[in-house]
Structure 1
């Protein structure tokens, strides 16, 4: 590997990390407006769009440690945004199910969140977004394969 290649890789890491931090800061600020933290919003958004989910699988889908899932589910349950439902065929499995209050909350706030994301990524054209999606997927698959 050449010195230039190593320098470019290091610079890419720094730029990507700083961009991600800036984006995350804006996303967190937006989500805070809806009375949730990012993790709660991610779980609720998953249930809103994908329907009931086994609690044991939620962590993988929203990139959350399994040890934190119960805490987040408890918080959303106290807010009456989701409920637990036992699996009728397997006692070891419990589903998280969005409630009517949870649906209403997301019906009201998710469109605003989409608009905020569009504004956050507004510095790129549609073509640039598509290119970045492809390139970041390629980079992610390569990193996973190492």
Structure 2
């Protein structure tokens, strides 16, 4: 029987995804944070003010859960809601100075943990993986 390479690629991708996810969760837990909290702060830290919808799309969390996460981070004074000057219906989520200081302290360590995961992969291999995964992701938008 001929080996089904698509199925094998799928299984390997799923196992790799699970491994990477577990590694990231473990790393983020060192900072007494949940993965969703970190993901929201990281999006704001790197992209600036975003709407709830933009954050949800960026970090792949549904908008219903997003309100809860934002409320908790706002209670900790790590972010705040700001009304949009041009559209009174829109609210931007803004990372506070306290949130920036926290991310300034922990993001370099998190980035180093990610680098460690990919330490045995050459830059060319990383580019190849990125291109392949993008193609897989784009091919499934029916």
Give your verdict on TM over 0.5.
yes
- TM-score w.r.t. the length of structure 2 is 0.94
Aligned equivalent of 1:100, options 97, 101, 123: 97
Return 35-44 or 111-120, whichever deviates more.
35-44
1:57 paired with 2:54, answer yes
Of 6, 10, 26, which aligns to 1:9? 6
The answer for the alignment partner of 1:24 in structure 2 is: 21
Root-mean-square deviation over aligned CA pairs: 1.4
Quote the Cα distance in structure 2 between the aligned partners of 1:73 and 1:39.
10
Shift of the alpha carbon at 1:108? Answer: 0.4
Write the deviation string for residues 46-81 of structure 1: whole angstroms up to 9, x where unpaired.
111111111232111111101111001011111111
The corresponding residue for 2:32 is 35
Aligned residues: 142
Q: CA separation in 2, counterparts of 1:4 and 1:109?
A: 48
Structure 2: how far apart are the matches of 1:135 and 1:118?
20
Stretches of structure 2 that go unaligned for 5 or more consecutive residues are: none
The corresponding residue for 1:73 is 70
Measured after TM superposition, the shift of residue 12 of structure 1 is 0.9
On the 8 A contact 1:54/1:93 being kept in 2, the answer is yes
1:44 matched to 2:41? yes
2: CA distance, partners of 1:50 / 1:34: 21
Normalising by structure 1, what TM-score? 0.91
**What is the rounded CA distance, in whole Å, between the counterparts of 1:134 and 1:62 in structure 2?**
20
Q: What are the within-5 Å matches in structure 2 for residues 64-143 of structure 1? A: 64-143=61-140
Moved over 3 A (4+): none
Structure 1 residue runs without a partner (length 5+) = none
